[in-house]
Chain A
């Protein structure tokens, strides 16, 4: 499998640019997460890669025209034929001319991993949200295509199954897919599942590359916020602090927080306040009397990244 390359891709809808990517290379045999806020063009990029987005008057151009062959795609929406789960799982394999024995083996393997074998006889369009998500993933993975595209693969799953799948997904993808590109808006999910990041903002690539490079060099406030960082003004410069990176008391880069309230969360207390115009939460130190509302409270960040 070679790298996936995009050149001069431009998608417009009703005169509005929804995707404008002059050049993008997605590395083969790795998992890439496409991150971005709602409406940033994440799904459109995935559809372009799947060959689903139609070229309107030559506005979408690709270095090598992608086609559905060689691609497995799991939609964000639950889309099924009004038939049994098994028939839905079989359809893609049948259309690819896979023989019955191989079909059975592949479906059994992906169904076992996603725990959907007991649903085979159920009508696929009548599954619950979590069941439908797992069947949809099983359908994409049993195709064993070299390029797997997943649109919000873990959205709508309940806590227990979400945690299990989040943990198992990397092995699952390693077993079933060569190159995976997944869309998510959750930076923690992306950090856990992906090797590379592509951050989209208003249809344009704002950052891209190895996740370590992107996550340790967010550069702009917008990218930092998409990565889940808190963007703060400190001594005239702007810094991005990763989640949980603020600690009470003096240390590293010190900041002053104006306390608004203290939340009692049973096992610990959280101090909620503002640093400049940004609302932040800091875990209170046990044994110390909690600060009062309106007090100025010194906090610090040991790990932070400067922003442009």
Chain B
């Protein structure tokens, strides 16, 4: 059970980190830039925030399966495939919340940092600190969505006992076997894991 819990934390943690690294700069750009069709793009991103994980899993499976266009990468039924699928689920969530957080900042703040002499990356860092509360909501929401999803992990990971079984797919397996007590215990572990991660993020969020 410990191995499954650690695997869950590693897979969902890696996907959250990747989604944050990619999603925060995209969210910043969406908040700052104006371009034709911006509202439509934001509409797609906001739709993506509620995308069914099982659909994402299916698309990733079609791409990675041995006969698929990326089959030669030999990623299907690996943890990396699960990270990829979870990354695709988490990124629109991070982008959506990040865009809203940066848009809520005083509109002249980026200009102020520019005239004070902050370079592009430094500006992003200082603005991210100003938008910290919203950005941590983005990270918590993204982690919460992927640590609790089961469809994508099941399809692209294959629920292999020693390599790709995570807490959610393990709960499905144990329930189907009639091992309700074990399933409940796994559910409790999932809740504790989720709580500990969110508690750590909340401490960072609320620190002054």
Contacts and interface: CB of A to CB of B under 8 A. Distances in A.
B118 to A, nearest CB: 5
B114 A77 contact: no
Given A77-B108, A79-B106, A95-B122, A52 B115 contact: yes
Contacts of A51: 114
Given A75-B111, A77-B108, A95-B116, 12 more contacts: A47-B111, A50-B115, A68-B116, A68-B117, A72-B115, A79-B106, A79-B108, A79-B109, A79-B111, A81-B126, A81-B130, A95-B122
B199 interface: no
Interface in B111-140: 111-112, 114-118, 122, 126, 130
B130 A52 contact: no
Nearest to B112: A79
Most buried by B among A68, A72, A73, A125: A68
A82 B117 contact: no
Contacts of B111: 47, 52, 75, 79
A91 B127 CA distance: 13
Contacts, number: 40
Nearest to A125: B106
Nearest to A50: B115
A92 interface: yes
Contact of A95 (B106, B108, B109, B117): B117
B200 to A, nearest CB: 22
A147 B198 CA distance: 48
A100 interface: no
Interface residues of B, number: 13
A148 to B, nearest CB: 11
7 contacts: A51-B114, A71-B115, A75-B112, A79-B109, A79-B111, A81-B126, A95-B122
A73 B126 contact: no
B94 to A, nearest CB: 22
A75 B108 contact: yes
Contact of B114 (A68, A80, A96, A143): A68
B130 A68 contact: no
Interface in A44-103: 47, 50-52, 68-69, 71-73, 75, 77, 79-82, 91-92, 95-96
B62 to A, nearest CB: 41
Given A52-B111, A75-B111, A92 B117 contact: yes
B117 A96 contact: yes
Contacts of B115: 50, 52, 68, 71-73
Nearest to A96: B117
Interface in B75-114: 106, 108-109, 111-112, 114
Contacts of B108: 75, 77, 79
Choose among B111, B112, B114 the residue with the greatest number of A CB atoms under 10 Å from its CB.
B112
B4 to A, nearest CB: 41
B128 to A, nearest CB: 12
Nearest to B114: A68
Contacts of A80: 106, 112
Nearest to A77: B108
Sort A-B residue pairs by CB-CB distance and give the 9 closest, nearest first.
Answer: A92-B116, A95-B117, A73-B115, A79-B108, A79-B112, A68-B115, A52-B111, A77-B108, A68-B114
A162 to B, nearest CB: 23
A54 to B, nearest CB: 10
Given A52-B115, A68-B117, A82 B130 contact: yes
Contacts of B114: 51-52, 68
A47 B117 CA distance: 15
A47 to B, nearest CB: 8
Interface string B158-187: 000000000000000000000000000000
A52 B109 CA distance: 12
Contacts of B116: 68, 91-92, 95, 143
Nearest to B133: A82
B116 to A, nearest CB: 4
A51 B117 CA distance: 11
Contacts of A95: 116-118, 122
Contacts of B122: 95
Nearest to A143: B116
B117 A69 contact: yes
A80 B111 CA distance: 11
